[in-house]
Structure 1
Amino acid sequence: MDGGEETALVTTGQEGCFRKVSLVAPDRRIYLWIGAEVDHRPPFFFWLKSAAKRRALARLKAAAAALRQAAAEEAVVFEALAVPPGRGDYLSQRPDIVVRPYDAVLLAAFATEAEARAWRDGPAAEGLMAELRAEARAADVALAVNGRRIGAVDHERPGVFLFNYFIAESRARNLAVWEHTAGWFQEKTGLDNSTLLVPQAGEAIPQSVINHCRWDRLRDILPALIIRPSFRSFVLRAFALNRTAAVPVLYRLA
C-alpha cells in the first residue's frame, strides 16, 4: 500500500446509473478493533463453533465488559455468520496477502486517543492478545479513526453487521472507490448507516480501511450481492480497476 498519494479514480462508465452516496460528518472518536480468525469454515457454516471459538468469544466479551467499565464509550463483540460474495479480482494479483476472514471481533470506541492507546498498550490488551494468538490462526489489533460516515451503526439491537476488510494498493484510492460505490448499497440494499475505519499510521495490519455497517436481516443484503448483476459490473469492477479488494464478513452480536 502506497500510503495514499494516488487519488485518481478509475471509473466503470456507469457512474451516472446509481445514486451518489449521502455522507454525514465523521465522528471524532478513536476506535479499537480486534479481530481473531479461529475457525476455518465454508462461507455459510460459521454457526458451527469449536471450543477454541467459544473461548475466544468469552475472552472478548470479558474484555468488552471491562472496557465499558473503564474508559470506552462502547465496546461490542461480534461473531461471524457468513462470508458473502464480494472479494473481486485484485486479490488474485496479490499472492503476498493472507486473507483473514475474522470470525470473532471486538470493536470499542473511545473519546480520546490517549484513552485508547493507554488500554491498547497496557497489560489487559497484552494478555488478551496473547491468549487469542495461542489458540487462533491469527489475531490482530489496531487503532483507527472514522474516515467517512453514512450514519451511526446501531449496536443496541440485533441485526446483521458487516465488517468489510479492504486490501488496496493506495489508501487514498480505496477511500475514493468506497465513496464511489457506497451509493449503490444505499440504493440497492437500503443501507442508512456506515462507519469507515481508517487504521492510524503505524498499525501493523494489512487492511487499508475497514467498513462497518448494519442491516436488520440477512435478506436485506445477501440477495443484492448474489443476484444483482450491477454488483459485479459496477461495484466489483470499480474495485478491480482501482486495485482494491474487499474481504466482507457478516456478523451478529455475540
Structure 2
Amino acid sequence: MIAEPQMKIVNAHLANSITDQGMLKEPNALGYIAITAEVELPSIWSSNSTKKQQLLAKLKSMCRELRGSSEAIRRADIFDAFIIPPGTAAGKRLIEEKSYSVHVAKFDIVILIECASVEEALVIRETVAVEAIVSLTRLGSSYMDVIVYKNPKRIDEVSKDTKGVFLFNYFYAQDTQTLLDVWEYTAGWWTKNAKLTNSTPLQPVTAGSPYHLINHCRWDRLIDVLPSLIFKPSMKRFVLKNFTENNIVAMPVLYRLA
C-alpha cells in the first residue's frame, strides 16, 4: 500500500492493492497527442447534431490520412462522449470550495494520436497534418486543449480495436505525486468492483494543460461500469473521498469510438 506522507488515506478498509493483485505495470514508452474539444454537451438521450456528425466524419477522414503519413504514428482514434457521470459533481464542488482556477472538463470529442515515443509525439504535434486537425476542431468547438502526454504508470494497455465504453477522467491536483499515489491507491477498487482490466493514465509533458493526469481505460459494455459509478456506495465513500480529501478534482466523461 502506498503511504506517502503527503497523501491522506480515507476508508482504508475498502482498499484493494493493484500491486498485490499483480496488475500494476511499468509505464510504456509511447507518446500521445490528445486533442480534447467541447462541441456540444453529450446526452445519453439524444444523438449528435448534424453539424457534429459532419465534423466527426471530416476528422475521421483526416485521422486515417494521418495514420498513413508516418511510421511513428501507431494510432489516431476519435472518441465521442455520451455520458458525464454523477461523479463530476464532487469535482465541481471542490473547485468552488477551493476556488481553483480550472476549466470543468466537458469534452465531447477526444482525438488521441498514439506515437512510438514521446520524442516522436513532440515532433508530430508540429506537423501540418496535425495542425490541420487542430484547426478544424477549433472551428467547431467552444473550448479545446492540445497537449502531448506520456504514460507514468499503468494497469494494461487500452484496446481500441473493438467497440466499447471508454473513460477519460480529467484530474486537477495541487501535487502531481500525490495525484499519482491516489490514482494507484484507488485503482484496486475499479479492478475489484467494476472488473477493470486496463488503464493507461496520461501525464502532460508540454505546458498548458489544466489537468495534471487523464486516466484512460475501457470496458466492453456500459453495464460493466455504470452500476459501479452510480449505485455502489463505496464509490463515493472510498474513490471520490480519497480524491477530494487530497484536494484532487476528478472530472470523468464516458465515450464511444466515433
TM over 0.5: yes
Amino acid of the structure 1 residue aligned with 2:124: W
Query: Which sections of structure 2, spanning at least 5 residues, go unmatched?
Result: none
Separation in 2, partners of 1:199, 1:167: 12
Contact 1:129/1:139 (CA < 8 Å) preserved in 2?
no
Secondary structure of residue in 2 paired with 1:101: coil
Pair 1:103-2:104 in alignment: no
The alpha-carbon distance between structure 1 residues 124 and 31, as it changes in their structure 2 partners (threshold 3 A), is same
Pair 1:9-2:7 in alignment: yes
Task: Output one character per residue of 1:225-247: Cα deviation in whole Å (capped at 9) or x when no partner.
Answer: 11111111111111111110111
Amino acid of the structure 1 residue aligned with 2:219: W
Relative to the length of structure 2, the TM-score reads 0.89
Secondary structure of residue in 2 paired with 1:84: coil
Amino acid of the structure 1 residue aligned with 2:47: L
How big is the shift at 1:95?
Answer: 5.1
How big is the shift at 1:41?
Answer: 4.2
The alpha-carbon distance between structure 1 residues 95 and 53, as it changes in their structure 2 partners (threshold 3 A), is farther
Pair 1:159-2:164 in alignment: yes
Contact 1:30/1:111 (CA < 8 Å) preserved in 2?
yes
How big is the shift at 1:130?
Answer: 2.0
Amino acid of the structure 1 residue aligned with 2:141: A
The alpha-carbon distance between structure 1 residues 7 and 104, as it changes in their structure 2 partners (threshold 3 A), is farther
Separation in 2, partners of 1:52, 1:99: 24
Separation in 2, partners of 1:181, 1:8: 16
Contact 2:67/2:76 (CA < 8 Å) preserved in 1?
yes
Pair 1:135-2:134 in alignment: no
Pair 1:216-2:216 in alignment: no
Corresponding residue to 1:174 among 176, 179, 189: 179
Separation in 2, partners of 1:169, 1:242: 9
Amino acid of the structure 2 residue aligned with 1:94: S
The alpha-carbon distance between structure 1 residues 17 and 135, as it changes in their structure 2 partners (threshold 3 A), is closer
Separation in 2, partners of 1:70, 1:41: 32
Task: Output one character per residue of 1:89-127: Cα deviation in whole Å (capped at 9) or x when no partner.
Answer: 422233522212111111121113343222211222222
The alpha-carbon distance between structure 1 residues 7 and 36, as it changes in their structure 2 partners (threshold 3 A), is farther
Query: Deviating runs (4+, > 4 A) in structure 1?
Result: none
Sequence identity of aligned pairs in percent?
A: 38
Aligned to 1:60: 59
Aligned to 1:33: 34
The RMSD of aligned alpha carbons is 1.7
Separation in 1, partners of 2:160, 2:35: 16
Query: Which sections of structure 1, spanning at least 5 residues, go unmatched?
Result: 1-5
Task: Output one character per residue of 1:172-217: Cα deviation in whole Å (capped at 9) or x when no partner.
Answer: 1111111111110011000000001001042x12011001000011
Corresponding residue to 2:205 among 179, 188, 200: 200
Contact 2:42/2:81 (CA < 8 Å) preserved in 1?
no
Alignment size in residue pairs: 245
Pair 1:245-2:256 in alignment: no
Separation in 1, partners of 2:61, 2:67: 10
Amino acid of the structure 1 residue aligned with 2:13: G
